[in-house]
Structure 1
């Protein structure tokens, strides 16, 4: 019996990998006769969970949440990192130099990878809804997990591209000619989807390693959407529920923030293979030589005081040929990796977002402890009264810069939310106002004319 179930799981993953080659071709290919269909997948909780496992593995391997995607792309797009492999990677070079065009391969891959995972999530949602054999609680949980993943991916796409297709079906005939959804309308749809997700999931983690998101993760993503919609009081309620949960404890030791057993982690992605290093630790590493690809920018380095423990423990200096560069050192394990996974969300984001929601409502005294938590851990003096609303919001933005550098595109999203992307001009000479959005991939516009017009400036 175990052997048969193992074979079924392998076939599910094979189907997923086989089908997710190109979003526009997903439904054109019939399943081979020797492979199982989606109805069979969702007749059993174990095989349905295997479909979800394939989705999570794909997030780590190749998606906006992968360690070599948003973190690196948006860090060189903003003011966190410099990029040195200009000749060998023209797509990344364009992004670093803020000269991207609609045929940029890195941007096209980002879009495609996201929509492939969205399709996979939609297939799981449809399968769980149509299943007549799954228990109701399991159907809700399976749908909730897939809906949460889809919402996170749409959040990234919405913030980067603006108006995008809101695809909720696996029907190719529907999807091939789908039009764009207005960016503000998309936020409303995500608010509704995440509200549903919160009702479907529970606080209990399905994995003690927190590699599968729970209701609190959904509440955090919903709070992020509500802040974008300026619904600060509603976001405050959700964030306080997360912060007061016994599931999470603020990690006082800065050297343990990126360890997989940190109780301040809300959700993290596990490497595909046992002992495999995180993508972040490998991607950003260089030693005794000039950086082959990435190094932290002087803008980022200069934002730290020398006494800041994050400057001391999350950044390493590298000297060669009379020059000094700085590399990211948040993840320490470069080869054998017994204790690090890629963190997607952690409690520190909850605290700083809570500080922002409170400050935005004029509750400055209440906001200060949440702002100061990460500062005090980093051995910095606390921010205190008197301070006005704009200045505390500026301090929160700077604290996010120092706390979350190179993590999941955090800097770009924070600047965009604060309407301060144009402050990049002094450090990014080619920056223009229209760079707040990326161009829609040229090949997508050629496949579907309903995606036109192209974003302004491209």
Structure 2
């Protein structure tokens, strides 16, 4: 595996930087901040400053966590994508949508995301008065802004209103209450705009399709999604168009190439730092003689159209006389050779973002063109056109469901933000419409996960979500 792109350092330097910027249990209550004198030394040294940023990627990928697999499979079982042949105690509350405030997995996700945010904030603060060259300071600051936005995107979509922490001050953070969702999106957008301006397009010379650290186009890709979720349709279309027309990225004609490390449609991938190629491959592909940990829900299998090439992203195994289907976007369930990286952002989503933005601006012809890019790559007949916005949204949801299944929680977030089809014009969440039909314990309050009870007990300013 080519790790030169990360400019990794000897172990003693890595360890020293990790001690400086990583060791916090929680961001909302992170413990004693790093020594400022030591921090100044880090952020005025090219090598140590680079390693501080690389350390954020390393922490994300060194074990399975929210940004390395967990959000993918937890949101998939929370929605209508995956289930389990043998329901495991750890996952049952997600399958049945009966999470409690004391759920240890929810607590771990909250803690990990806020710990990563602390690292991002430390880098941003440390580089503001740094003596590094403008090019290095801009690059590293831009990556930290991007990664902060990425973490907040998942926090706000899982928990709703969360504390918006943009500093490392312990006393202020420990008393921080929850922030309105629109303000969190404003911060996400601001961070990504900063990242756009600070970052450049860069790539590995020997492997030009490896994009394993955030660049300006990664910021544009996540910005397009943030605008979409905020319903700023014109801005979403503009950001997605910037990616599509950049010509740095292209849809892979062969769906089997999409999730490889040298995929031409990869905008951002995270480099493996475990013994596995990817958390998804290691988790979804069953071990010999065992059933898959997660199997694809029958409703998702039935949603594939005949001759859809994306059916190659599904595999099956037989166990005790029963056939189980499981996600097969990633085809390696062990280590070397490292041919698959953790796909974070890819071009196909940008076509889907632009299609949705165009639908909402009544450009149904333009939306059909974008959806047909995805359908044609998948071996399906193009859509001739749409008779209404409602018909176009049905087609969009179908393409998003198939293209992005078992990938970073997209289906769950779509169900949460889309309008129910049976009552167009009278907003009811699509999640209520879909999940109430086959999840007996489904309640609308499950649209947001609980704020971890330990956090609420530590900080009276944190108000629990309804239903918990």
Length-normalised TM-score, structure 2: 0.90
| Compared CA separation, residues 421 and 206, structure 1 to 2 (3 A) | farther
In the alignment, structure 1 segments of 5+ residues that lack a partner are none
| Compared CA separation, residues 40 and 206, structure 1 to 2 (3 A) | farther
| Compared CA separation, residues 24 and 455, structure 1 to 2 (3 A) | closer
Q: Does 1:328 align with 2:338?
A: no
What is the aligned counterpart of 1:442 among 453, 457, 460? 453
Q: Which residue of 1 aligns with 2:104?
A: 105
Are the counterparts in 2 of residues 84 and 293 from structure 1 also a CA contact under 8 Å?
yes
What is the aligned counterpart of 1:455 among 438, 445, 465? 465
| Compared CA separation, residues 83 and 3, structure 1 to 2 (3 A) | closer
Q: Distance in 1 between matches of 2:28 and 2:239?
A: 37
Q: Which residue of 1 aligns with 2:17?
A: 12
Q: 1:27, CA displacement in angstroms?
A: 3.8
Q: Which residue of 2 aligns with 1:125?
A: 124
Q: Which residue of 1 aligns with 2:427?
A: none
In the alignment, structure 2 segments of 5+ residues that lack a partner are 1-6, 420-429
Q: 1:353, CA displacement in angstroms?
A: 0.7
Structure 1 segment 337-348 matched on structure 2, within 5 A = 337-348=337-348
Q: Distance in 1 between matches of 2:204 and 2:152?
A: 24
Q: Which residue of 2 aligns with 1:350?
A: 350
Are the counterparts in 1 of residues 251 and 348 from structure 2 also a CA contact under 8 Å?
yes
* DSSP 3-state at the match of 1:451: coil
| Compared CA separation, residues 10 and 288, structure 1 to 2 (3 A) | closer
Are the counterparts in 1 of residues 267 and 347 from structure 2 also a CA contact under 8 Å?
yes
* DSSP 3-state at the match of 1:291: coil
| Compared CA separation, residues 189 and 323, structure 1 to 2 (3 A) | same
Q: Distance in 2 between matches of 1:283 and 1:134?
A: 42
Q: Distance in 1 between matches of 2:64 and 2:321?
A: 37
Q: Which residue of 2 aligns with 1:281?
A: 281
What is the aligned counterpart of 1:146 among 133, 144, 157? 144
Q: Distance in 2 between matches of 1:421 and 1:4?
A: 46
| Compared CA separation, residues 227 and 87, structure 1 to 2 (3 A) | closer
Q: Distance in 2 between matches of 1:23 and 1:230?
A: 30
Deviations 1:267-303 (A, max 9, x none): 0011115x73211111012266563521111111111
Q: How much is the aligned-residue C-alpha RMSD, in angstroms?
A: 2.3
Q: Which residue of 1 aligns with 2:438?
A: 427
Structure 1 segment 54-65 matched on structure 2, within 5 A = 54-60=55-61, 61-65=63-67
* DSSP 3-state at the match of 2:303: coil
Q: Distance in 2 between matches of 1:233 and 1:83?
A: 40
Q: Distance in 2 between matches of 1:87 and 1:73?
A: 12
Q: Which residue of 1 aligns with 2:426?
A: none
| Compared CA separation, residues 142 and 110, structure 1 to 2 (3 A) | same
Q: Distance in 1 between matches of 2:9 and 2:289?
A: 52
Q: Does 1:21 align with 2:20?
A: no
Q: Which residue of 1 aligns with 2:239?
A: 238
Q: Which residue of 2 aligns with 1:316?
A: 315
Q: 1:28, CA displacement in angstroms?
A: 2.3
Q: Distance in 1 between matches of 2:263 and 2:10?
A: 33
Q: Distance in 2 between matches of 1:395 and 1:333?
A: 32
Are the counterparts in 2 of residues 64 and 153 from structure 1 also a CA contact under 8 Å?
no
Are the counterparts in 2 of residues 287 and 318 from structure 1 also a CA contact under 8 Å?
no
Q: Does 1:267 align with 2:279?
A: no
Q: Which runs of 4+ in 1 moved over 6 A?
A: 2-6
| Compared CA separation, residues 157 and 350, structure 1 to 2 (3 A) | same
Q: Distance in 2 between matches of 1:232 and 1:255?
A: 32
Q: Which residue of 2 aligns with 1:183?
A: 181
Q: 1:385, CA displacement in angstroms?
A: 2.0
Are the counterparts in 1 of residues 33 and 168 from structure 2 also a CA contact under 8 Å?
no
Length-normalised TM-score, structure 1: 0.92
Question: Which sits farther off after the overlay, 282-291 or 239-248?
Answer: 282-291
Q: Distance in 1 between matches of 2:34 and 2:373?
A: 54
Q: Which residue of 1 aligns with 2:424?
A: none
Structure 1 segment 37-436 matched on structure 2, within 5 A = 37-60=38-61, 61-67=63-69, 69-89=70-90, 92-131=91-130, 133-205=131-203, 208=208, 209-273=210-274, 276-286=276-286, 289=289, 291=291, 293-311=293-311, 313-335=312-334, 336-419=336-419, 420-422=430-432, 423-436=434-447
